[in-house]
Amino acid sequence: MNLIEFASPYFLFGLIVIPLLIIWYIFNCNKQQAYVSFSDTGFFNNLPKSWKSYARHIIFMLEIAALALFIVALARPQSSSKNQKVNIEGIDIVLAMDISSSMLAADLKPDRLEAAKMVASDFVNGRPGDRMGLVVFSGETFTQVPLTTDHGMMLNMLRDMKCGMLEDGTAIGDGLASAISRLKDSEAISKVVILLTDGDNNAGSIDPNTAAEMAKLFGIRVYTIGAGTRGTAPYPTQTPFGIQYRQVPVTINETLLQQIADTTGGKYYRAESKEKLQQIYDEIDKMERSKIEVNEFKRLHEEFYPLVIAGLILLIISFLLKNTIFKSVTE
């Protein structure tokens, strides 16, 4: 939308002269008429007045209007339009998520995996300017989503993620290495892996600490999350009477996850509930923010030319009327 501004607004005070001139004209217009004395004016009182005696005021109105236009033109009205250029330097983030069978434990409601999926989906929705990727791992690893800005696809893959997609086990080193392979060539201002697991490294061919050193080499920060309560957790077991829950030990290798975070400049978190997991993702979200730069451009266009032209036209019309139709009236 174009806005009107004045480069020299103080000239607008000159418009105060307009009503003063109108008042002066009203009180002095009769002095411009010629007077002739008659002993009896009754005859003249019954004569109709010429239309010119009324229409002659048009000249003054034209001149006043021209003066008003010139005063406004002196104030230099300008139309302005604003444009914004938004530059977003996003962050590349890969979610590395454990989908081993132990993620079905119900200490996080409704279970660890579903809680992780819901919280991760909220995290993705809150970062529209970043590229996201998804790596899943259990006994082996698989890249579900390469780095992409298509968050719709990312959310669909998170929703469809489930235990049993891969051979069972917990290959933390392989999962981290797969996430690193997706980020190593990135030119983003920040490269991040959020690794979530509920166990210890018991599968795969890559040592987690070796993978952490690789991440450090490529400038990738790794935030590690251990999902699960302390002690034991209810785990679903199929029985002849249906699914029943039995308490199984929670074996999260916190020392290993802490080492990975320390090596890469990240941070280790323990999520003992879905609410705590949400708080962890919120904290990471605040620490890893995209750089947004907004440049505003303002264009000004001079708008006084039409006012000057209109004022000149009014003066020309006034001059022509004064020297033609109303010549006899104004003399």
Question: Which CATH number characterizes residue 196's domain?
Answer: 3.40.50.410
Within a domain: residue 42? Answer: no
Give the lowest-confidence range in 19-28, 67-76, 273-282: 19-28
Question: Do 64 and 171 have their domain in common?
Answer: no
Measured distance CA(229)–CA(260) in Å, rounded: 21
48 or 147, greater pLDDT: 147
Question: Do 233 and 202 have their domain in common?
Answer: yes
Q: In the predicted model, is pLDDT for residue 329 greater than 80?
A: no
Q: In the predicted model, is pLDDT for residue 243 greater than 90?
A: no
Within a domain: residue 101? Answer: yes
Question: Do 104 and 237 have their domain in common?
Answer: yes
Q: Is 264 helix (H, G, I), strand (E, B) or coil?
A: helix
pLDDT at position 46, please? Answer: 53
Most confident of the following: 16-25, 180-189, 212-221, 237-246: 212-221
Q: In the predicted model, is pLDDT for residue 20 greater than 60?
A: yes
Measured distance CA(253)–CA(50) in Å, rounded: 109
Residues in the chain: 331
| pLDDT grade for 255, boundaries at 50, 70 and 90 | very high
Q: Is 160 helix (H, G, I), strand (E, B) or coil?
A: helix
pLDDT at position 34, please? Answer: 46
Within a domain: residue 118? Answer: yes
7's tokens: 């480069």
pLDDT at position 47, please? Answer: 46
From the list 129, 144, 113, the residue with the least C-alpha distance to 236 is 113
Question: Do 142 and 212 have their domain in common?
Answer: yes
Question: Do 8 and 105 have their domain in common?
Answer: no
pTM above 0.85, yes or no: no
Q: In the predicted model, is pLDDT for residue 48 greater than 60?
A: no
Question: Do 303 and 245 have their domain in common?
Answer: no
Q: How much of the chain exceeds pLDDT 90, in percent?
A: 56
Question: Do 246 and 317 have their domain in common?
Answer: no
Question: Do 197 and 240 have their domain in common?
Answer: yes
| pLDDT grade for 331, boundaries at 50, 70 and 90 | low
pLDDT at position 88, please? Answer: 60
Question: Do 77 and 164 have their domain in common?
Answer: no
Which run of H or E residues covers position 319?
helix 305-322
Within a domain: residue 107? Answer: yes
| Residue span of the structural domain in which 62 resides | 3-37+51-82+298-330
- What's the rounded mean pLDDT across residues 299-321? 87
Question: Do 208 and 314 have their domain in common?
Answer: no
Within a domain: residue 44? Answer: no
Sequence-distant (6+) residues with CB within 8 A of 49 are none
Are 290 and 38 in contact by the 8 Å Cβ rule? The answer is no
61 or 83, greater pLDDT: 61
Considering its fold, how many domains does the chain have in total? Answer: 2
- What's the rounded mean pLDDT across residues 167-181? 96
Within a domain: residue 72? Answer: yes
Instruction: List pLDDT tens digits, range 53-82.
Output: 656 678 888 889 999 999 999 988 888 777
Measured distance CA(331)–CA(325) in Å, rounded: 12
Question: Do 214 and 272 have their domain in common?
Answer: yes
Within a domain: residue 271? Answer: yes
pLDDT at position 3, please? Answer: 72
Are 245 and 234 in contact by the 8 Å Cβ rule? The answer is yes
Within a domain: residue 43? Answer: no
Question: Do 137 and 284 have their domain in common?
Answer: yes
